[in-house]
Copies of this chain bind each other. A is one copy, B any other.
Protein backbone atom coordinates (compact mmCIF):
# COMPACT_ATOMS: atom_id res chain seq x y z
CA UNK A 1 0.00 0.00 0.00
CA UNK A 2 1.22 3.48 -0.86
CA UNK A 3 2.02 5.77 2.06
CA UNK A 4 0.68 9.31 1.60
CA UNK A 5 4.09 11.02 1.42
CA UNK A 6 5.22 8.69 -1.38
CA UNK A 7 2.69 10.47 -3.61
CA UNK A 8 4.74 13.68 -3.32
CA UNK A 9 6.91 13.05 -6.33
CA UNK A 10 7.03 14.40 -9.85
CA UNK A 11 6.77 10.87 -11.22
CA UNK A 12 3.24 10.78 -9.78
CA UNK A 13 1.17 12.36 -12.61
CA UNK A 14 -1.39 13.72 -10.12
CA UNK A 15 1.29 15.55 -8.12
CA UNK A 16 2.81 16.76 -11.38
CA UNK A 17 -0.55 18.16 -12.52
CA UNK A 18 -1.05 19.78 -9.12
CA UNK A 19 2.40 21.41 -9.31
CA UNK A 20 1.98 22.57 -12.90
CA UNK A 21 -1.42 24.19 -12.42
CA UNK A 22 -0.89 25.53 -8.91
CA UNK A 23 2.34 27.28 -9.83
CA UNK A 24 0.70 28.63 -12.99
CA UNK A 25 -2.15 30.07 -10.88
CA UNK A 26 0.28 31.47 -8.30
CA UNK A 27 2.22 33.25 -11.05
CA UNK A 28 -0.99 34.47 -12.69
CA UNK A 29 -2.11 35.83 -9.32
CA UNK A 30 1.19 37.60 -8.78
CA UNK A 31 0.92 39.11 -12.25
CA UNK A 32 -2.12 41.04 -10.99
CA UNK A 33 0.23 43.10 -8.79
CA UNK A 34 1.93 44.30 -11.97
CA UNK A 35 -1.43 44.83 -13.63
CA UNK A 36 -2.54 47.00 -10.71
CA UNK A 37 0.70 49.00 -10.89
CA UNK A 38 0.27 49.58 -14.63
CA UNK A 39 -3.30 50.81 -14.13
CA UNK A 40 -2.22 53.00 -11.21
CA UNK A 41 0.30 54.83 -13.40
CA UNK A 42 -2.07 55.00 -16.37
CA UNK A 43 -4.74 56.62 -14.16
CA UNK A 44 -2.29 58.47 -11.89
CA UNK A 45 -4.04 56.81 -8.97
CA UNK A 46 -2.02 55.74 -5.95
CA UNK A 47 -2.75 54.27 -2.57
CA UNK A 48 -0.15 56.24 -0.64
CA UNK A 49 0.83 59.94 -0.71
CA UNK A 50 4.51 59.02 -1.14
CA UNK A 51 3.88 56.94 -4.27
CA UNK A 52 3.00 59.70 -6.71
CA UNK A 53 6.16 61.76 -6.39
CA UNK A 54 5.51 65.40 -7.20
CA UNK A 55 2.52 64.75 -9.40
CA UNK A 56 -1.04 65.46 -8.41
CA UNK A 57 -2.44 62.08 -7.54
CA UNK A 58 -5.91 60.63 -7.19
CA UNK A 59 -6.82 57.97 -4.67
CA UNK A 60 -9.73 56.13 -6.17
CA UNK A 61 -10.19 54.91 -9.66
CA UNK A 62 -12.74 52.39 -10.86
CA UNK A 63 -10.33 50.67 -13.26
CA UNK A 64 -7.74 50.17 -10.50
CA UNK A 65 -10.35 49.01 -8.00
CA UNK A 66 -11.62 46.43 -10.48
CA UNK A 67 -8.17 44.85 -10.78
CA UNK A 68 -7.89 44.88 -6.99
CA UNK A 69 -11.24 43.10 -6.67
CA UNK A 70 -10.06 40.44 -9.13
CA UNK A 71 -6.87 40.06 -7.09
CA UNK A 72 -8.79 39.73 -3.82
CA UNK A 73 -11.09 37.18 -5.41
CA UNK A 74 -7.98 35.20 -6.37
CA UNK A 75 -6.77 35.24 -2.77
CA UNK A 76 -10.16 34.09 -1.52
CA UNK A 77 -10.35 31.17 -3.93
CA UNK A 78 -6.93 30.16 -5.22
CA UNK A 79 -5.06 30.22 -1.89
CA UNK A 80 -7.32 27.75 -0.02
CA UNK A 81 -7.37 25.59 -3.16
CA UNK A 82 -3.57 25.23 -2.88
CA UNK A 83 -3.97 23.45 0.46
CA UNK A 84 -7.04 21.45 -0.52
CA UNK A 85 -5.40 20.38 -3.79
CA UNK A 86 -2.23 19.21 -2.06
CA UNK A 87 -4.17 17.11 0.45
CA UNK A 88 -6.33 15.79 -2.39
CA UNK A 89 -3.16 14.49 -4.07
CA UNK A 90 -2.36 12.60 -0.85
CA UNK A 91 -5.63 10.63 -0.81
CA UNK A 92 -4.51 9.02 -4.10
CA UNK A 93 -7.46 9.93 -6.32
CA UNK A 94 -7.97 8.42 -9.77
CA UNK A 95 -5.18 9.81 -11.99
CA UNK A 96 -7.29 10.75 -14.97
CA UNK A 97 -10.02 12.64 -13.14
CA UNK A 98 -7.63 14.37 -10.72
CA UNK A 99 -5.40 15.66 -13.54
CA UNK A 100 -8.46 16.85 -15.44
CA UNK A 101 -9.92 18.61 -12.39
CA UNK A 102 -6.67 20.50 -11.70
CA UNK A 103 -6.49 21.55 -15.34
CA UNK A 104 -10.12 22.64 -15.71
CA UNK A 105 -10.07 24.50 -12.38
CA UNK A 106 -6.93 26.41 -13.29
CA UNK A 107 -8.15 27.35 -16.78
CA UNK A 108 -11.43 28.54 -15.24
CA UNK A 109 -9.50 30.87 -12.89
CA UNK A 110 -7.40 32.21 -15.78
CA UNK A 111 -10.62 32.97 -17.70
CA UNK A 112 -12.03 34.57 -14.52
CA UNK A 113 -9.11 37.01 -14.40
CA UNK A 114 -9.34 37.82 -18.10
CA UNK A 115 -13.07 38.60 -18.06
CA UNK A 116 -12.87 40.44 -14.71
CA UNK A 117 -9.81 42.61 -15.07
CA UNK A 118 -8.47 42.56 -18.61
CA UNK A 119 -11.36 42.44 -21.10
CA UNK A 120 -14.59 43.05 -19.19
CA UNK A 121 -17.22 40.68 -20.60
CA UNK A 122 -20.90 40.76 -19.51
CA UNK A 123 -22.12 38.20 -17.01
CA UNK A 124 -22.52 35.23 -16.73
CA UNK A 125 -18.95 34.81 -18.09
CA UNK A 126 -17.29 35.66 -14.79
CA UNK A 127 -19.74 33.87 -12.54
CA UNK A 128 -19.40 30.68 -14.59
CA UNK A 129 -15.59 30.77 -14.48
CA UNK A 130 -15.80 31.39 -10.74
CA UNK A 131 -18.26 28.54 -10.18
CA UNK A 132 -16.25 25.90 -12.06
CA UNK A 133 -13.15 26.38 -9.91
CA UNK A 134 -15.26 26.80 -6.77
CA UNK A 135 -17.19 23.56 -7.25
CA UNK A 136 -14.02 21.61 -8.07
CA UNK A 137 -12.34 22.90 -4.89
CA UNK A 138 -15.35 22.05 -2.72
CA UNK A 139 -15.47 18.60 -4.32
CA UNK A 140 -11.77 18.00 -3.56
CA UNK A 141 -12.16 19.23 0.02
CA UNK A 142 -15.17 17.02 0.67
CA UNK A 143 -13.34 14.06 -0.92
CA UNK A 144 -10.43 14.57 1.51
CA UNK A 145 -12.78 14.70 4.53
CA UNK A 146 -14.64 11.63 3.27
CA UNK A 147 -11.32 9.77 2.92
CA UNK A 148 -10.52 10.35 6.59
CA UNK A 149 -13.56 8.45 7.87
Contacts and interface: CB of A to CB of B under 8 A. Distances in A.
Given A27-B138, A50-B123, A8 B5 contact: yes
Interface stretch (A14-22, A95-103, A105-113): A14-22
A63 to B, nearest CB: 12
Majority SS at the chain A contact face: helix
Contact of A47 (B16, B19, B69, B82): B69
Copies in the complex: 3
A133 to B, nearest CB: 10
A10 B84 CA distance: 15
A3 interface: yes
Interface of A: 3-6, 8-11, 15-16, 19-20, 22-24, 26-27, 29-30, 32-33, 47-48, 50-51, 53, 66, 69, 71, 75-80, 82-84, 87, 90-91, 120, 122-123, 126, 134, 137-138, 141-142, 144-145, 147-148
